Structures are given as structure tokens and as C-alpha cells.
Amino acid sequence: MTELAAIRAQFPALAHKRYFNYGGQGPLPEPALEAIQTTYRHLQVTGPFSGQALDWVSQMVAQTRAAIAQELGAPPATFTLTDSVTSGCNIALWGLDWHPGDHLLLSDCEHPGVIATAQQLHRRLGVELSTCPILATLNQGDPIATVIEALQPRTRLVVLSHILWNTGQVLPLGELMVACRQHHPNILFLIDAAQSVGVLPLNLAQLGADFYAFTGHKWWCGPDGVGGLYVNPAILDQVQPTYIGWRGIETNASGQPTGWKPDSRRFEIATTAYPLYTGLKAALDLHPQGGTAAERYQRILQLSQQLWTGLATISGVTCLRTTPPESGLISFQIAGWDCRQAVQHLEKRSFHLRVIAHPYCIRACTHYLTQPDEIMALIAAIQALVSKR
């Protein structure tokens, strides 16, 4: 068995299906499942509420934070542990000191949960919203110029995804943020990293984002329910916690709150399902067996290129991208087939893909765990669909 096949064999979800939904949710490997179960049991045996159990939990939380920090290239204290991408985005969006008429810019490819949060900021605080047309830059045009053109004198925050969830386009974030700040030095950037964490090799200390919100349950293949938010220490004093609890505060000898934790932990709230953290740590420990982050990204690109090239040979299939993919997300349409029906049809044949509402298309994800023969089988299944019409 090759090294990759041996890693793949540890994922029960991959045994009997062809899985192309990593951007929706990654499968959990056995070591993560075991870690979660073992931790729940251990905490029942030693606690659940005892000095020993609580010490163990706090060490385990620190280890998970350190593993995330190692993977993303920034110090552990810059990370808030959350339960999802969306809750990380909410911390940033509600945490700024907004004034009526301040401007919030989003791309036109953001996730509905993030758009809805921005709309609530408009309703409750009078924040002005607008979107910039990034979708149109998929195959031509300049995303950097598009964002700069949409900035306004009162723009406080720009919300962008690092990898667009609908088309797979990778935004040139580092360059984009530098260029925007030349015009407006005080603008902050909130990055939705749902589709980039676990895909791109990342160094957040160098990237220059103010907020970078991610989850463990997609490309990292951790359990659902554990994510994180990077907050650049340089802007920490510009963000106030909105939901508050004992995990984010310091207390005095009489147990009274005296202030926030000195770092990004101030945005954490209270009791959570801690055993899930060991599940994420176990998943993170597994991936280096598949190569460095850069090697895994290269493999993702090779595989997505195989799929993109194969789909292009089928007459009647249109990939949204006209140039080779930059990520593991491939979006396409099949002439004569409604996308929803095509996805249902493929699922009956054990191919798992999803529909994207805008632009209306089918999305397939290739992970470094994907096998070339799964891709060949998917291409053949889509060819068979086309021939049916």
C-alpha cells in the first residue's frame, strides 16, 4: 500500500463511496474518532469535574491551539477557538465600533451566513453595505482593481473569501491588501477561510489579514464543531468581545471579572464539547504523513487539473473556469441536465457532489486524499449522464 493509500484507509467514510464534498465537510479519520471517544471516557473516569480532569482539559486545549498555530504560521495566542467559520466572522463583524454610515464592503461571492450577518449590522447599526463584482474576475479582469474601485471614504472593513466557495478562484490576498492599504491605510480585512485552510500553505503572520476565520471540519477533516479565528495582535484593541464568558476574562481573588484575557482567547466564551478538540488535533497530526502543506496543495492542484481537463473533453460539460484550477474546487454545468437532478443521479451511483445556487452549478472537490481513479470514474459517470440525454 502506498503512503497515501494507507492514510486514506483510515477514513471510514471513504471506503465505499467516491467523495467529492470536502469543501462541505471532510470525512473524519479513525484516529480522530478514537481520540474523541477516548477523551470522553477519560473525562468520565477522572472527573468529569475534578482537578485532574480540568487540568487535563486545559492542557489539551493548549495543545490543540498550538497545533492550529503551527499549521497556520502564527503564534498560539493569536487564535480564538470557535465552533465554525461563521461564528469567527461574527466575532469580527460585531466586535468593531461601528457608527451609522460606516461602510462595509463584501465580495459578491460570500457565504449566505456571512451576508446575513452583514445585513443585520445594517439593520441594527446603520452600517452601509455594498458588494464588489469579484465573480466576474474568474476568467478575466483584475480582482485587486475591482476591490479598490469599490472602496469608499468611510470603508472600515472588507470581507473576502481567500478561496471563493462557488468558483474555486484564489484571491491574491497579500497583494490585494497591500494595494488597498496604499489608498486607505486604516481599512481592516476579514477573510473567510472556509475553503483555504487545509488547502493552501499558509503563513498568517506574514499574510497581513486582520481576521482570518476558519473551521476544522472541512479540508482539515476534523470533527464538526471546532473552528478558529486568527486576530492580528496589532488590531486587538479595535475589537470588543460581543458574547462574553469565563473563558475570555481574568478574575481577581474573589472571582470577580477584572478584564479580558490579554490575547485572542478573550473572544472565547464558556464550556464546550472539549473532546472534539482532541479529534481535530488527531486529524492535524495525520496530514503531515501526506507531505508538507506545499506538497499536499500541489497534489490537490494535480488532481483538480485532472478533473478539469477530463470534464473539458466531454462535449456538453462547461467548467466555469476557462483556465486550469488554482484550488480543489471545480464548478461546472452539464447541458440538458438540471444541476440538482444531476447531483441526485450521481449520488445514486455513489458519487458525492453538491449544487451551488449562484452561479447555478455543480461543485466537485478534490482533496489530496482523492485518488486519480475516482476522478476517472467521475468523468466516466458524467459522460454517461450526457449520453443519456
Ligand X SMILES: Cc1ncc(COP(=O)(O)O)c(C=O)c1O
For ligand X, which stretch binds (CB under 6 A), given 9-17, 47-55, 81-89, 268-276? 81-89
The Cα 281–Cα 301 span in angstroms is: 25
Size of the site for ligand X (CB under 6 A): 13
User: Mask of contacts with ligand X, 22-61, x by CB under 6 A?
Assistant: --x-------------------------------------
Among 27, 222, 227, 328, binds ligand X (CB under 6 A): 227
Work out whether 194 is an interface residue with ligand X (CB under 6 A).
yes
User: Mask of contacts with ligand X, 94-133, x by CB under 6 A?
Assistant: -----------------x-x--------------------
The Cα 12–Cα 59 span in angstroms is: 29
Work out whether 276 is an interface residue with ligand X (CB under 6 A).
no
- Pick the closer one to ligand X by CB: 116 or 376: 116
Work out whether 264 is an interface residue with ligand X (CB under 6 A).
no
Work out whether 219 is an interface residue with ligand X (CB under 6 A).
no
- Pick the closer one to ligand X by CB: 228 or 310: 228
Work out whether 195 is an interface residue with ligand X (CB under 6 A).
yes
C-alpha cell at 65: 491551539
Task: Work out how close the CB of 388 gets to ligand X at its nearest, in angstroms, rounded to a whole number.
Answer: 30
Task: Work out how close the CB of 116 gets to ligand X at its nearest, in angstroms, rounded to a whole number.
Answer: 11
- Interacting residue ranges for ligand X, rule: CB under 6 A: 24, 84-86, 111, 113, 161, 165, 192, 194-195, 215, 227
